[in-house]
Amino acid sequence: MRANRSRVITIATFLLVVAGLAGGLTALLRTTRGDTAGTGRPAPRGSAQIDLAHAVADYTSRFGPDQGYLRPGRTDREAIAAGIGLLLDGHRKQAEQQLQQRDFTLRTLVDRVSGRHYAEVADRTDAAATPRGWGRVYIDLDHRPSWSVQVPHPVFDRGTEQLGVRVLRGSPGGILVIAGAHRKSGVGNSADVAHRRDTVFHAICAELARRGMPGIQLHGFAASSAPGYDVVTSTGAGSAGRQDGRDLADALRTHGFRVCQAWARSCPLEGLTNMQGRVADDDHVAFLHVEFSPTTRAGGQPAERAAAAVADITRDWAKRPVAD
């Protein structure tokens, strides 16, 4: 009888050990697969499966100079940027509440191409008859957010929105910020977010710069604007990203592009009046202003090579510490 009881106890103990090991292995696998966000937050279950490139193409397909644009008030800009900050700090519920108050939505998506979870922050009026045009943000949830790729002139600078997706996929920890309207929509230059401070786009980029996150902003130039070059690189109004700019120029040349470096010679389209570059300079944060030729951003192999060159820089950014 005692032998049987001892055998039962031994078997029960063994099963408990196995269960404990299985639980630990499951947790390890979840962390390895990226089921847990880089900040330690579990990604919501039932996340929609999408192709991020298709989602962005669908979003920007409605952009046009006659689309219209509503200039946001200061409280709107600050509240939306604060919502992004709450999300980056791991306070998803508070972020969602904050964003909902400004008619923004927050959901988690899984990009079928990269396999990563992204938080999508979107203007609820995008599908309305008269959208406000305040933009959209995608944040990598599987890694600690540490850098941004910014697209201020989607559709107007044709192909930059898709190049932005390629850059986001190229390295972990990225944040893609896309302007919500055509550059020529709205009154005057109110929708030209690269040259204004009173936009949601600028408020979000300023929040990222305040947190010490380096950023690369993608633009496009007409072939006649910089003959003989495929890419024009600059650090805008600042110099904190000068070494990153040199490294990017070297990487672009390695991939077969002809590059004009604004800090080394006189180049067109140097981005000296770019407002996101100025706020990054105020915070002593690296900022790269990069102009691509029509051929480079048209898609296919040239765009792939350009994104691969940029990834040489953003992978390094992903390894750098970011202020909390």
Task: For residue 30, name the pLDDT band (cuts at 50, 70, 90).
Answer: very low
The torsion angles phi and psi of 255, rounded to 5 degrees, stand at -90, 10
Give the whole-angstrom CA distance, residue 219 versus residue 4.
77
| 20 pLDDT more than 60 | no
Tokens 């000068």 map to which residue?
Answer: 242
Say if CB 279 and CB 242 are below 8 A apart: no
Q: What is the pLDDT of residue 46?
A: 62
The kind and range of the H/E element at 242 are helix 242-254
Is the pLDDT reported for residue 10 higher than 60? no
Query: Tens of pLDDT along 51-88?
Result: 999 999 999 999 999 988 999 999 999 999 999 999 99
Distance (Å, rounded) from C-alpha 275 to C-alpha 281? 10
Tokens of 211: 């947190």
* Residue 97, helix vs strand vs coil: helix
Per the listing, tokens 């107007």 go with 156
Residues 6+ apart with CB under 8 A from 90: 37, 39, 40, 41
pLDDT confidence bin for 9, thresholds 50/70/90: very low
Q: Which amino acid is at 94?
A: Q
Closest CA to 89 of 2, 179, 210: 210
The angle that helices 300-319 and 242-254 make with each other, rounded to 10 degrees, is 140
Q: Which amino acid is at 45?
A: R
Which comes out higher in pLDDT, residue 16 or 262? 262
Cα angle at 232 between 228 and 236, to 5 degrees?
150
pLDDT given for residue 40 in this prediction: 38
pLDDT at res. 281: 97
Both tokens assigned to 159: 């192909």
Predicted confidence (pLDDT) at residue 218 exceeds the cutoff of 80 = yes
d(CA 218, CA 103): 27
Phi-psi label, residue 219: left if phi above 0, alpha if psi -120 to 50, beta otherwise: beta
For residues 226 and 107, what is the distance between their CA atoms, to the nearest angstrom?
Answer: 41
- Which segment of 11-15, 186-190, 244-248 scores lowest on mean pLDDT? 11-15
Q: Which pLDDT belongs to residue 324?
A: 56
Q: What is the pLDDT of residue 36?
A: 39
Whether residue 45 has pLDDT greater than 70:
no
For residues 174 and 181, the answer to whether their CB atoms sit within 8 Å is no
Which range (25-34, 91-100, 133-142, 200-209) has the least confidence?
25-34
CB 214 within 8 A of CB 244: yes
pLDDT of the residue at 24:
43
Q: To the nearest whole number, what is the mean pLDDT of the chain?
A: 89
Instruction: Tell me how far apart the alpha carbons of residues 283 and 15 are, in angstroms, rounded to a whole number.
Output: 56
Minimum mean pLDDT range among 13-22, 174-183, 276-285: 13-22
Q: Is 80 exceeded by the pLDDT of residue 321?
A: yes
Distance between CA atoms of 164 and 170, rounded to whole angstroms? 10
Per-residue pLDDT at 29 exceeds 90? no
pTM of the predicted model as reported, rounded to 2 decimal places: 0.87
pLDDT score of 21 more than 60: no
pLDDT (average), residues 180-191: 96
Angle, CA 253 vertex, CA 250 and CA 254 arms, to 5°: 85
Q: How far apart are CA 42 and CA 225, in angstroms?
A: 47
d(CA 139, CA 151): 14
Tens digits of per-residue pLDDT, 259-306? 999 999 999 999 999 999 999 999 999 999 999 999 999 999 999 999
- pLDDT level of residue 12 (50, 70, 90 thresholds): very low
Angle at alpha carbon of residue 173, lines to 178 and 208, rounded to 5°: 55
Spatial distance between the Cα atoms of 219 and 271, rounded to a whole number of angstroms? 10
